[in-house]
Amino acid sequence: MMDLTNKDVKKKNIVDELIWDDSIDAIDVDVDIEDNTAILRGTVPTFSAKINAERDALMVSGIDVVRNELKVEFPLELTLPDDQEISDRIRSKLLWDSSINSSNIEVETAAGVVTLSGTVDSYWERTLAEDLALSTSGVIGLENNLSVSLIKTVVDADIENDIREAFKRNPLIDEKRITVSATDGIVTLSGTVPNYFTKTRAYNTAMYTSGVIDVIDNIAIV
């Protein structure tokens, strides 16, 4: 039997990951590899499947970047909500999720592309609002124009310290390899981690820290 090349192994692992993930119908997804970049082409039935496919590819060892060229094609037999229905469904999701203050969020949909505008109280709420919108049937794209309007301002030095201390509590993160800086609530992460999973953990740690209004992720996978 012919030995698999490194490229073949990465491709096989991504395909296996996509097949394993029950949240994705990946029958029409093609995978190609260029060095440490995975290229996803083809079609998926929902926008959330497109996002999840990219996430799965990034979880595979040796993949640092994903070019997500997947297109969303809804099944022909599926009756899709119109733009007004999509907006109404997203507003309902935001209203019923008690963890987010959606009173200042505006939702507009045009040809299946959702635009979120207005303000939220924290950076993680901005991300949560986006996730709720993306999981709504009929959505094919999203523009998140939400800004963060903090109820309580936190000093940058305290934000940096809180993130570093959270890193120390996480056994997956080597805090010595990540530099944290904050300017007016905007956090920049730089340094290196061994895999995408650790990179995501570091980003999420910053995202959920009080006082953060944005996170710039410059962490490299090596």
Out of 3.40.50.620, 3.30.300.130, 1.10.760.10, 3.90.1200.10, select the CATH number for domain 6-72.
3.30.300.130
Residue ranges covered by each domain of the chain: 6-72, 83-148, 156-221
pTM: 0.80
Domain 83-148 = CATH 2.60.40.10: no
The rounded Cα 2 to chain-centroid distance in angstroms is 37
Classify residue 218 as exposed, middle or buried by CB count within 10 Å of its CB (0-12, 13-18, 19+): exposed
Question: Three-state SS for 130?
Answer: helix
User: Which alpha helices (H) appear in the chain, and where do they start and end?
Assistant: 6-20, 47-58, 83-96, 123-134, 156-169, 196-207
CATH class of domain segment(s) 156-221: alpha beta
Tens of each residue's pLDDT in the chain, 222 residues = 445 688 889 999 999 999 999 888 889 999 999 988 999 999 998 888 899 999 999 988 888 889 999 998 887 777 789 999 999 999 999 999 999 999 999 999 999 999 999 999 999 999 999 999 998 989 988 999 999 999 888 999 999 999 999 999 999 899 999 999 999 999 999 999 998 889 999 999 999 999 999 999 999 988
The CA distances from residue 158 to 56, 126, 187, 188, 208, in Å, are 34, 22, 12, 14, 14
